[in-house]
Amino acid sequence: MAGSRRHAVLAVASRDLSRAREFAARFAIPRVYDAYEALLADPEIDAVYNPLPNALHREWTERAASAGKHVLCEKPLGVSADDAAAMVGSCARHNVALAEAFMYRHHPQIDRLQALLRGGAVGKPWLVRAWFSFTTGPGNIRLDPALGGGGLLDVGSYAVNLSRLVLGEPVSAAAEAVYEHGVDVRLSGLLGFPGGRAALVDCGLRAPLRQGCEIVGTEGTITLARPFQPEDHPAVLHLATARGTTTEEVPGTNQYTVMLDDFAGVVLDGRAPRFPPFDAVANMRALDALARAARTGRRESVAPAAAGE
C-alpha cells in the first residue's frame, strides 16, 4: 500500500494497542486505534482493508459499509456464499465499493495467461490442475473452526479461483479431505464444468510448501510455476504444443500494489472493477460445494447464480 501512488495509510486498529503502536511506528502510520469501531468513526478515512479471520469478514465489512467506508476484504470474502452475498448487498445498499483481495489475479502473468488462452495458443482448455499448500504451526488461526479455518478456505480458494478464471463456472464437485481440530488440513477435489471440462484442485495446511497450475487444452499445455505468490521475482510460463516448447518470463512486480491501484480506480474514478464482487460469491459457491462433498462423500451440485448477479 505504501508503494501505491493513490493511497495514504492514515490509521491502523488493533484490539491490542501496543501491537497497533508497534505496527504504526514500523510503517509511519499517523493514527492508532484500539478498537475497530473508532477507526470506522474517523471521518477522514475513505476505505478500509479487512484482513481479519474469515469468520469476521462479514461483520466488519458490513459495519464498515454502514459507516460509509469502501472495503477491500481478504479472500475468501466470507465463510459461505450466503455470507458473501450478504456482504455484496450491504455494500451496494450503502453505495460503497467492495473488492475481494485476490492479489494474484492482478499480476501481469495472469494477463499473459488470459491473452494466450484467448489467442487459442493451446486450443480449447478442458482441464485445469491447480495446487497450493504449506504447513502451518500450532496455534495458527487457520486451524480454528470458529474463525473459519481450514485449507480449503485459505489456499484452496486460490486454486478454485484460478480454475474458474480459465473454465468459467463449475456445476458439480467431489472431494476427499483429512481433518484436524475440526478443519480440513489436506483436501483434493474435482470440479465439473459444462462440456466435459474439469478442474483438479488440491490444498493443505499440513502438506509440503508448493504451488502451481497446469492448463491442458486440446492442442497443448500452459504451466505456471508460481501462479499465486511469485513475489517480486520474474514469473515463468511454459507453453508446450506440437510445434514445440517455449518459455515466457514476465517481469516481477508487486501484485498487491497493482491490486490496490485497481481498487483506487474504482473508488476515486468510478471505474468498473476488473473483478466485480459477485465473482467472490461465485467462488464461494464452488468452495461450499467442495466442502459439502468432502463431508458427505458424494458428488455435490454447485448452486447456480442468483438473479441479478
- DSSP letters, 37-71, are HHHHT-TT--EEEE-S-GGGHHHHHHHHHHTT-EE
Angle between helices 156-167 and 108-118 (to 10 degrees): 30
Contacts of 258 (CB under 8 A, 6+ apart): 103, 106, 107
Catalytic residue check, 124: no
Q: How far apart are CA 80 and CA 89, in angstroms?
A: 14
**Residue of 67, 69, 13 lying closest to 46 (CA atoms):** 69
Size (the chain), residues: 309
Distance (Å) of CA 303 to CA 129, 198, 284, 286: 22, 17, 10, 8
**Bridge partner list, 125:** 217
Catalytic residue among 58, 75, 106, 164: 75
- The identity of residue 300, as a single letter, is E
Other C-beta atoms lying within 10 Å of the C-beta of residue 195: 10
Write out the three cell numbers for 181.
481440530
Residues designated as active site: 75
